[in-house]
């Protein structure tokens, strides 16, 4: 597998090599177009000054040699060639002393020889540094009635030793620092990615407690923070899933065991009729409880889907609330509970079937947790673009510490357990309200009752 670290390192080295190649090319182009001609002119000028000095000052043979040696010590390599082709050298020796044909015209035609112009087989400016006789400039001069050719070139070993060493060291240092820096940067970038990869493997094995300690202030740091949030959310979802399965199993098991137990008792031939009727009634109640639980689970599953198909239409919200009240009138009379309502005629657009579940759950809860002789108040009004629906009862109330978990699935207080609730009703209510982009708020005190306030935004709400 090609790791990101390896790819980054290879890419860095490749870019560095391309940069060196481009830099070398640009330097050679500059040398060929600018530096080369200037160097040739400078060397020809030096050669001509030497020749002028030699011709104007009558040197003896010994003095002439000392003078040429002195010039060579200033950083030049010099070759003297006479008409016979004999050569005499001053300064550092040449690696190649072959006399080029083009240089002959210095002696035969009194011309000027520029060796750099004749380098055709060298790559770019490499020829400038070759220590060969043909890499010189040559000028003619006359001494003691004889024609000579003075061929000269700068001694790169002397002239360039210090500066070239510094430059080469500088370039090498830059290269090494760049490579080491890139490798370090690659490790810094890939280390958190490796940690994230390892954390992902642990999450795939349902281990949501893997420590991921990446503290950075860049995009990788943001990714790490998002990953930690995702890990926390997955852990909570996993706990909720396990709790959901446990609660569903318990809520299904309890009525099923009751049904099975009483069904076994009904098999007895000596069972009195009164007991038989009582057991049959219990089985019927438990079956209805199972049916209600199944129906609510199916509705909750449907609401959990990301794109629940809302069946929005215009309907009279006040009439819907009145219909729910009529449906439970018998229970209100049976529990001796007084119900009053103040419902402003309102034409609302929403999912009537879902909202019917909301009113049904809130009203049955108000009846279930009320007390004999208690009361329930239902109000419907419009404030600006919002529809406000209120259910207020004088029941047992809800403890303050229980309010944050009130809308959690299967959450039931002690009073709710005694009333055989499923713990899903208020969770369904909240999700339906949120589907309508609304909010639900609860005010409650122990012993005084509870008030549920629903706010449903509807800019097109109409008073009828």
Domain assignment present for residue 300? The answer is no
How far, in whole angstroms, is CA 331 from its chain's centroid? 58
The whole-number pLDDT of residue 171 equals 73
The whole-number pLDDT of residue 163 equals 52
DSSP letter, residue 33: I
The whole-number pLDDT of residue 412 equals 65
The token pair at 308 is: 């629940």
End of a domain among 132, 159, 186? 159
End of a domain among 159, 187, 204? 159
Domain assignment present for residue 98? The answer is yes
Residues 6 or more apart from 438 whose CB is under 8 A from it?
Answer: 454, 455, 456, 457
Torsion of CA 262, 268, 270, 273, to 10 degrees: 40
Using DSSP, state whether 318 is helix, strand or coil: helix
| C-alpha–C-alpha distance, residues 91 and 155, integer Å | 8
Q: Nearest-CA neighbor of 380 among 299, 452, 276, 297?
A: 452
The whole-number pLDDT of residue 183 equals 78
End of a domain among 159, 190, 213? 159
For the chain, residues with pLDDT lower than 70 are 1-5, 31-32, 117-129, 157-167, 169, 247, 250-251, 305-308, 410, 412-422, 459-464
> Do strands 137-143 and 146-154 pair parallel, antiparallel, or not at all (unpaired)?
antiparallel
Please report where in the chains the tokens 């000054």 appear, as a residue.
49
Domain assignment present for residue 85? The answer is yes
The token pair at 36 is: 């080369």
| C-alpha–C-alpha distance, residues 159 and 164, integer Å | 9
The whole-number pLDDT of residue 107 equals 86
CATH number for 53:
3.30.450
Domain assignment present for residue 340? The answer is yes
Start-to-end CA span in the chain (Å): 71
Helices marked H in 205-272 — which ranges? 219-266
The whole-number pLDDT of residue 158 equals 57
Please report where in the chains the tokens 């002690």 appear, as a residue.
414
Residues, the chain = 464
Domain assignment present for residue 350? The answer is yes
Domain count, the chain: 2
The whole-number pLDDT of residue 416 equals 43
The whole-number pLDDT of residue 165 equals 61
Residues 6 or more apart from 387 whose CB is under 8 A from it?
Answer: 317, 346, 348, 380, 381, 455, 456, 457, 458, 461
The token pair at 353 is: 């079937």
pLDDT of 343-387, one tens digit each? Answer: 999 999 998 988 998 998 899 889 988 988 899 999 999 998 899
Cβ contact 25:19 at 8 Å: no
| C-alpha–C-alpha distance, residues 440 and 198, integer Å | 42
Q: What residues make up the domain containing 111? A: 4-159
CATH number for 342:
3.30.565.10
Domain assignment present for residue 402? The answer is yes
Domain assignment present for residue 174? The answer is no
DSSP string across 101-141: GGGHHHHHS---EEGGGG--SS-GGGGGG--BTTSSEEEEE
> Do strands 375-383 and 338-343 pair parallel, antiparallel, or not at all (unpaired)?
parallel
| C-alpha–C-alpha distance, residues 310 and 354, integer Å | 9
Domain assignment present for residue 380? The answer is yes
pLDDT of 112-140, one tens digit each? Answer: 898 876 655 445 556 666 788 888 899 99
């Amino acid at each position: 597998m090609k790791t990101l670290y390896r790819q980054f390192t290879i890419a860095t080295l490749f870019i560095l090599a391309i940069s060196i190649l481009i830099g070398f090319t640009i330097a050679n182009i500059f040398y060929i177009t600018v530096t080369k001609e200037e160097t040739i002119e400078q060397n020809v000028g030096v050669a001509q000054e030497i020749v002028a000095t030699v011709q104007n000052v009558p040197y003896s043979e010994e003095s002439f040699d000392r003078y040429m040696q002195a010039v060579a010590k200033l950083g030049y390599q010099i070759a003297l060639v006479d008409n016979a082709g004999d050569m005499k050298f001053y300064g550092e020796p040449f690696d190649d002393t072959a006399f080029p044909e083009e240089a002959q015209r210095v002696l035969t035609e009194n011309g000027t020889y520029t060796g750099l112009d004749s380098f055709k087989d060298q790559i770019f400016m490499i020829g400038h540094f070759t220590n060969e006789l043909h890499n010189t400039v040559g000028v003619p001069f006359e001494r003691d009635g004889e024609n000579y050719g003075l061929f000269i070139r700068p001694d790169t070993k002397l002239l360039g030793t210090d500066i070239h060493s510094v430059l080469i060291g500088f370039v090498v240092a830059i290269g090494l620092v760049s490579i080491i820096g890139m490798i370090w940067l690659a490790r810094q970038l890939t280390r958190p990615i490796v940690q994230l990869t390892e954390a992902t493997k642990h999450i795939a094995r349902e281990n949501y407690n893997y420590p991921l300690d990446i503290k950075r202030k860049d995009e990788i740091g943001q990714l790490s923070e998002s990953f930690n949030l995702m890990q926390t959310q997955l852990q909570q979802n996993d706990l909720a899933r396990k709790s959901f399965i446990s609660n569903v199993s318990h809520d299904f098991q309890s009525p099923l065991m009751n049904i099975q137990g009483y069904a076994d008792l009904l098999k007895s031939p000596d069972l009195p009729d009164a007991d038989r009727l009582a057991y049959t009634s219990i089985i019927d109640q438990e079956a209805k409880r199972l049916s209600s639980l199944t129906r609510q689970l199916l509705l909750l599953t449907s609401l959990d889907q990301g794109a629940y198909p809302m069946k929005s239409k215009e309907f009279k919200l006040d009439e819907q609330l009145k219909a729910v009240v009529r449906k439970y009138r018998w229970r209100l009379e049976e529990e001796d509970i007084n119900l009053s309502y103040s419902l402003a005629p309102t034409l609302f657009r929403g999912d009537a079937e879902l909202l019917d579940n909301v009113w049904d759950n809130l009203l049955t809860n108000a009846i279930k947790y009320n007390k004999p002789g208690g009361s329930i108040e239902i109000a419907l009004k419009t404030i600006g673009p919002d529809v406000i629906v209120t259910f207020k009862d004088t029941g047992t109330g809800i403890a303050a510490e229980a309010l944050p978990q009130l809308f959690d699935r299967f959450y039931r207080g002690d009073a709710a357990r005694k009333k055989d609730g499923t713990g899903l009703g208020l969770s369904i209510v909240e999700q339906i309200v949120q589907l309508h982009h609304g909010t639900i708020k609860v005010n409650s005190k122990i012993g005084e009752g509870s008030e549920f306030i629903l706010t449903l935004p509807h800019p097109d709400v109409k008073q009828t």
